[in-house]
Amino acid sequence: MKNMIIAKQLIKRTAALAPMASVADKAYRYMCKKYGASLVVGEMASAKGLCYSDRKTAELLSVTAAEFPMAIQLFGSEPEFMAKACKIAEQYEPQFIDINMGCPVPKVVSTGAGSALMKAPQLAADIVKACVDATAIPITVKIRKGFDDSCVNAVELAQMLEQAGASAITIHGRTRKQMYQPPVDIDIIRQVKQAVTIPVIGNGDITTPETAKQMYEKTGCDLIMVGRGSYGRPWIFEEIETYLETNTRLPEKSLDEKMEIMLEHISLICQFKGEKIAMREARKHVAWYLKGIPHAAKFRNLCSNLEVYADIQQLVKQVQQMQ
């Protein structure tokens, strides 16, 4: 298996886990790492929240050695706060600090952060430079194709971010306006790769081993990043690794295997967050794990009633009895 390098850090050239808010928490990252994710990126955290000692923000940056190599992700629109947040983030000892310039969510964009920075390339470059000057931890950046059809500037922005000191760039091949539709623009990722000398990570619509290989072949990117394609399928990373190595697919996991993995995942959320909080968050994960199985709709309807871990164990028994 080939490797790639970001700022002297060796990373397997398989697939990384994307930084998904309210999804890619410590338990999720642990499961994806267990099944072969070569790099994991945490949920985005507010730079201002970190600077103002917000407890919930700090919790987003808590990492474990089992996750390495990993990156934490910050968002914000003011260079001074971003720089200060990077200094504070050093205590968590991530391999990288990733700056979010791709989030399309209105409450983030309305503050001038996330994908709004695609419309302010000089500010975006100033933020990266301030962060690079503030910490010895390598700074990476996640961007989009552009903000909308009138602002498709990923190539130019990537070049500015490289000049500002970024160690790698992840590009999602859609504009902010497109959100997650229509199909990702593979060509813009290829263009960014050709325009810079730092590593480029391709992101968007990677849901199978085949689409993973296609992203590598059509863009020449150094690494690929999986987001929604890992919902309820943390094992997608081992599927991708095997396919890239052998051009063959692993056998589909049995229902019992899927349920065992789900139980382990939910148990970890309980361990990290406590059962009360974990059960609320577990409902969406359980629904994702159940997708595609016989009678899935019936079982997904029961997810809103999950209150304690024993409820999930009972749900699994019902699922297995119905197959």
Of 170, 171, 247, residue with least CA distance to 209: 247
End-to-end CA distance of the chain: 38
How crowded is residue 26: how many other Cβ atoms within 10 Å of its Cβ? 22
Whether residue 103 lies in the annotated active site: yes
302 vs 263, 277, 287, 316, CA distance in Å? 16, 18, 9, 11
Distance CA 32, CA 265 (A): 10
Alpha-carbon 118 to chain mean position:
19
Distance CA 78, CA 71 (A): 21
Burial of 304 (0-12, 13-18, 19+ CB in 10 A): exposed
- State the catalytic residue, choosing from 32, 86, 103, 221: 103
Outline where DSSP puts E strands in 184-278: 200-203, 223-226
Residues 6+ apart with CB under 8 A from 277: none
- The answer to whether 41 touches 271, Cβ cutoff 8 Å, is no
Q: Which residues are catalytic?
A: 103
